[in-house]
Amino acid sequence: AFKFFLGQTIIHIITIYNLRNKANPWVLIPLMVMAIPVLAPGFMVRPHLWTTLFFTIFILLLHKGLEENPKILLWIPLLMLIWVNCHGGVVAGLGIFFAVTLTESIRSLMSGEKLNQPLMIAFVASCLMVLINPSGIELWEFFYHSLSQSRNISEWNSVPLWGTEFIFLKILTILFLITLFLPGKKQSWKIVMVFLVIYFGFKHQRHTILTAIVLTFYLPLVLSKGLILWGENYSHLFKTGNWMVPAQLILLVFMCLQFLDGYKKYSQNQFKILVEPQVYPSYLIQFMKENEFKGNILVPFDWGEYLIWKLPDSNISIDGRFRTAYPETIINWNQKVYSIKNPDTKLLNQYPTDFIVTRKKVTPNNYLANNEEWIKIYEDLIASLFVKKNHDAILKDFNNDRFIHPKNPPSYSFP
Query: What pLDDT is recorded for position 247?
Result: 65
In terms of pLDDT, which residue wins out, 9 or 119? 119
Query: What pLDDT is recorded for position 79?
Result: 98
pTM: 0.77
* Cα dihedral value 287, 290, 294, 296, nearest 10: 10
Q: Is residue 277 part of a domain?
A: no
Query: What pLDDT is recorded for position 239?
Result: 55
In terms of pLDDT, which residue wins out, 153 or 109? 109
Query: What pLDDT is recorded for position 339?
Result: 82
Amino acid letter, residue 246: P
**224 and 300 belong to one structural domain:** no
**299 and 248 belong to one structural domain:** no
Q: Is residue 348 part of a domain?
A: yes
Query: What pLDDT is recorded for position 228?
Result: 66
**180 and 289 belong to one structural domain:** no
Beta partners for residue 357, in sequence order: 385
Confidence of residue 27 (pLDDT cuts 50, 70, 90): confident
Q: Is residue 272 part of a domain?
A: no
Residue 393 in this model has a pLDDT that exceeds 80: yes
Tell which residue, 393, 323, 320, 322, has the closest CA to residue 354: 393
Query: What pLDDT is recorded for position 290?
Result: 94
Q: Rounded CA gap, 355 and 288, in Å? A: 10
Q: Rounded CA gap, 286 and 310, in Å? A: 9
**244 and 344 belong to one structural domain:** no
- Condensed to tens digits (0 to 9), the pLDDT of residues 267-283 reads 776 767 777 888 889 99
**80 and 143 belong to one structural domain:** yes
* Angle ∠(354,360,363) on CA atoms, nearest 5: 80
What domain count does the chain have? 2
Answer yes or no: are the C-beta atoms of 332 and 321 closer than 8 Å.
Answer: no
**29 and 107 belong to one structural domain:** yes
Confidence of residue 125 (pLDDT cuts 50, 70, 90): very high
Answer yes or no: are the C-beta atoms of 206 and 6 closer than 8 Å.
Answer: no
Query: Looking at 100-104, 144-148, 252-256, 323-327, which range is the least confident one?
Result: 252-256
- Condensed to tens digits (0 to 9), the pLDDT of residues 174-197 reads 999 999 988 888 899 999 999 999
Examine the fold and report which residue of 237, 267, 297 is the final residue of a domain before the chain moves on: 267
**345 and 257 belong to one structural domain:** no
**23 and 144 belong to one structural domain:** yes
Answer yes or no: are the C-beta atoms of 186 and 29 closer than 8 Å.
Answer: no
Q: Rounded CA gap, 215 and 177, in Å? A: 11
Beta-carbon contacts of 209 under 8 Å, excluding residues fewer than 6 positions away, are: 38, 39, 41, 42, 52
In terms of pLDDT, which residue wins out, 402 or 370? 402
Q: Is residue 169 part of a domain?
A: yes
Confidence of residue 152 (pLDDT cuts 50, 70, 90): low
**183 and 227 belong to one structural domain:** yes
Examine the fold and report which residue of 218, 234, 267 is the final residue of a domain before the chain moves on: 267
Confidence of residue 388 (pLDDT cuts 50, 70, 90): very high
Residue 251 in this model has a pLDDT that exceeds 80: no
Tell which residue, 303, 294, 279, 318, has the closest CA to residue 387: 294
What domain range is 332 assigned to?
282-414
- Condensed to tens digits (0 to 9), the pLDDT of residues 203-242 reads 988 899 999 999 999 999 999 887 766 555 444 555 555 5
Average pLDDT over residues 251-272: 72
* Angle ∠(297,382,353) on CA atoms, nearest 5: 15
Beta-carbon contacts of 409 under 8 Å, excluding residues fewer than 6 positions away, are: 277, 283
Q: Is residue 131 part of a domain?
A: yes
**104 and 160 belong to one structural domain:** yes
Answer yes or no: are the C-beta atoms of 197 and 12 closer than 8 Å.
Answer: no
**327 and 200 belong to one structural domain:** no
Confidence of residue 332 (pLDDT cuts 50, 70, 90): confident
Answer yes or no: are the C-beta atoms of 373 and 404 closer than 8 Å.
Answer: no
Indicate the angle between helix axes 188-203 and 208-230, nearest 10 degrees: 130
- Bin 388: left if φ > 0, else alpha if -120 < ψ < 50, else beta: beta
Query: Looking at 105-119, 248-262, 369-383, 393-407, which range is the least confident one?
Result: 248-262
Residue 202 in this model has a pLDDT that exceeds 60: yes
**255 and 322 belong to one structural domain:** no
Examine the fold and report which residue of 267, 294, 311 is the final residue of a domain before the chain moves on: 267
Q: Is residue 101 part of a domain?
A: yes
Q: Is residue 276 part of a domain?
A: no
Residues 69-92: b if buried by 16+ CB within 10 A, e if exposed: ebebbbebbebbbebbeebbbbbb
Q: Is residue 274 part of a domain?
A: no
Average pLDDT over residues 334-339: 86
- Condensed to tens digits (0 to 9), the pLDDT of residues 287-297 reads 999 999 999 99
Confidence of residue 29 (pLDDT cuts 50, 70, 90): confident
Answer yes or no: are the C-beta atoms of 77 and 123 closer than 8 Å.
Answer: no
